[in-house]
């Protein structure tokens, strides 16, 4: 049964408002979706097909405005860990007994924060974590990639005064590209999302840049749910080196990897062989193709699915398959 698209706000214990929008299947798997930088809860992954495709996969999306975006109150001291606590209050308010988390781009580390704090905040309620074109641990990946992402040397600390102009330029570029869209419906949806994201200024997006450029300070050794990553091999917004670096960090934070069974081609996009993790950056640690594997033993699996020829907007073309994979991971986690 399709869910009527609804929106609302949760009043957090500290008085802040956390705004959300629900769409998809009424009784489907609840997934807390965290948007990218300069997006909002109004982001439509597959444009005007978002509601129909989400409902058809049996998923109920809860898309949330991060603090400082849209209708969610700015949080001066926001960290990835504080976001996980916000999500705990949200799922309690929505009375979700089981749910998953899914993050796109800048939303990736926020979703991962929930997985890292599963044992202390969510226990068996959190089933799995998905990361789509996620930002990576840039502070570990060398000065070249850091400068590519933030346009400053790694030796220069990112500050709000540096982040605001960067976000202003990014917003202008996005607005120009959206305005040039040939399809009016998509142009309208994209501009609506952007306008909502920055309705209260750029403090929220700038705060994301500050978090991404520094140590995430997450207890990744406590990961206790499956993590599935999707990344485009031709992504020039968040280069694939970021995905390899994140995969390496997750593996090094816990048990050594063991070979992972290949995904079922009937249930998800076929991953491209990735003997070469990327063309451009000298990363530290160096990406290791053998790490496209699951952790063995009692550890939950971590998998990177590299999509050949795909860009940062892969979410537009793989939304249905991504949700289907999330459902499969959640069903397995319930066993």
What does the pLDDT look like over 264-282, one tens digit per residue?
545 444 333 333 344 455 5
pLDDT band at 300 (very low <50, low <70, confident <90, very high): confident
Fold of the domain spanning 6-255+300-333: Rossmann fold (3.40.50)
The span from the CA of 257 to the CA of 199, in Å, is: 44
SS3 string, the chain, reads CEEEEEEEEEECCCCCEEEEEEEEECCCEEEEEECCCCCCCCCCCCHHHHHHHHHHCCEEEEEECCCCCCCCCCCCCCCHHHHHHHHHHHHHHCCCCCEEEEEECCHHHHHHHHHHCHHHHHHHHEEEEEEECCCCCHHHCCHHHHHHHHCCCCCCCCCHHHHHHHHHHHHHHHHHHHHCCCCHHHHHHHHHHHHHHCCCCCHHHHHHHHHHCCCCCCCHHHCCCCEEEEEECCCCCCCHHHHHHHHHHHHHCCCCEECCCCCCCCCCCCCCCCCCCCCCCCCCCCCCHHHCCEECCCCCCEEEEEECCCCCCHHHHHHHHHHHHHHHHHHHHHC
pLDDT, tens digit, for every residue of 58-102? Answer: 999 999 999 999 999 999 999 999 999 999 999 999 999 999 999
Q: What is the pLDDT of residue 335?
A: 78
Average pLDDT in the 5-26 region?
91
| The pLDDT of residue 291 is above 70 | no
pTM exceeds 0.75, yes or no: yes
Indicate whether 286 pLDDT > 70: no
Say yes or no to pLDDT of 254 above 80: no
């Amino acid at each position: 049964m399709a869910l009527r698209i609804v929106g609302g706000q949760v009043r957090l214990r500290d008085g802040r408002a956390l705004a959300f929008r629900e769409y998809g299947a009424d009784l489907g798997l609840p997934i807390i979706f965290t948007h990218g930088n300069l997006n909002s809860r109004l982001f439509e992954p597959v444009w005007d097909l978002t509601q129909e495709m989400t409902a058809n996969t049996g998923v109920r999306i809860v898309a949330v405005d991060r603090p400082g975006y849209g209708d969610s109150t700015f949080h001066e001291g926001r960290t990835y860990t504080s976001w996980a606590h916000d999500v705990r209050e949200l799922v309690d308010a929505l009375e979700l007994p089981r749910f998953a988390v899914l993050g796109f781009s800048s939303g990736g580390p926020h979703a991962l924060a929930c997985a890292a704090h599963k044992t202390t905040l969510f226990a068996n309620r959190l089933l799995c974590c998905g990361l789509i074109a996620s930002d990576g641990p840039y502070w570990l990946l060398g000065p070249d990639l850091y400068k590519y992402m933030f346009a400053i040397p790694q030796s220069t600390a990112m500050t709000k005064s540096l982040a605001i102009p960067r976000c202003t330029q990014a917003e202008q570029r996005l607005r120009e590209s959206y305005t040039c869209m040939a399809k009016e419906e998509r142009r309208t949806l994209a501009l609506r999302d952007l306008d909502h994201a920055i309705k209260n200024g750029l403090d929220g997006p700038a705060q994301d840049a500050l978090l991404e450029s520094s140590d995430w300070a997450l207890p990744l050794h406590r990961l206790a749910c499956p993590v599935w990553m999707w990344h485009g091999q031709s992504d020039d917004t968040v280069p694939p080196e970021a995905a390899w670096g994140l995969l390496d960090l997750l593996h090094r934070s816990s048990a050594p990897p063991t070979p992972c069974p290949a995904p079922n081609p009937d249930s998800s996009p076929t991953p491209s062989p990735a003997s070469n993790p990327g063309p451009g950056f000298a990363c530290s640690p160096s990406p290791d193709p053998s790490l496209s594997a699951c952790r063995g033993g009692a550890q939950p699996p971590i998998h990177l699915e590299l999509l050949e020829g795909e860009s940062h907007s892969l979410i537009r073309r793989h939304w249905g398959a991504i949700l289907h994979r999330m459902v499969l991971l959640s069903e397995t986690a319930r066993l």
